[in-house]
Amino acid sequence: MESFALDRLMRDFGKDVWNYAYFLTRDRHASDDISQEVFLRAFRSVKDFRGESSVKTWLLKITRNLSYNYRNSAFLRRVALLGWVRRRETVTSAENEFMDQAAANAIWRIILDMPLPFREVLLLDIQHEMTTKEMAGVLGVAEGTVKSRLHRARAKVSNKLREVGAHE
């Protein structure tokens, strides 16, 4: 892999890799380090990439493995709320934008409080728009497991939103 190819990989997938690392570790500094390490490993092992998945799936799999290694060996970290939400194509009022952001933050808080297997499939589905097959490749589980986790995770989010709505 030549340097311009590595640069392009970093431009095309750097944000996705960093966001996934952050989602798994909840640590900005660790996410920076993990992201750099992902691209170094990709650069060193590009000859081993068999093309059985997309490049994005391959990079996210590396990210997941490094993030798990970090989580398993790291000390306790503070929890932070993710600050990214899909943007709309139309212009909204400041009030509607605030309400949308508040609703999105509430949903992300619920997601962040879920067990990791559920958080992960929701992130890969919502943020990275991966197919079930791609998620299975990243997570190293069967497609049926991904489908089951997605179904259960969505149900948990819906139930929690109903609970929160009932108390307000």
Name the one residue in this structure whose structure tokens are 């991966």: 130
- The predicted model scores a pTM of 0.53
Residues of the chain with CATH 1.10.1740.10: 3-73
Mean per-residue pLDDT over the chain, rounded:
79
Q: Is 3-73 in CATH node 1.10.1740.10? A: yes
**For residues 64 and 37, what is the distance between their CA atoms, to the nearest angstrom?**
12
pLDDT of 34 higher than 70:
yes
Q: Are 74 and 102 in contact (CB under 8 A)?
A: no
How many CA atoms within 13 Å lie on the side-chain side of 127?
25
pLDDT band at 21 (very low <50, low <70, confident <90, very high): very high
Which segment of 40-54, 69-83, 128-142 scores lowest on mean pLDDT?
69-83
Contact 21, 35 (CB under 8 A): yes
Give the residue range(s) of CATH 1.10.10.10 domains in the chain.
94-167
Domain 94-167: state its class. mainly alpha
Mean pLDDT of 6-13: 88
Which range has the top average pLDDT, 28-37, 49-58, 90-99, 122-131? 28-37
Phi, psi angles (nearest 5°) of residue 70: -65, -50
What the block records as the tokens of 27 is 């640590």
Element (H, E) at 79: none
**Token pair for residue 85?**
């939400």
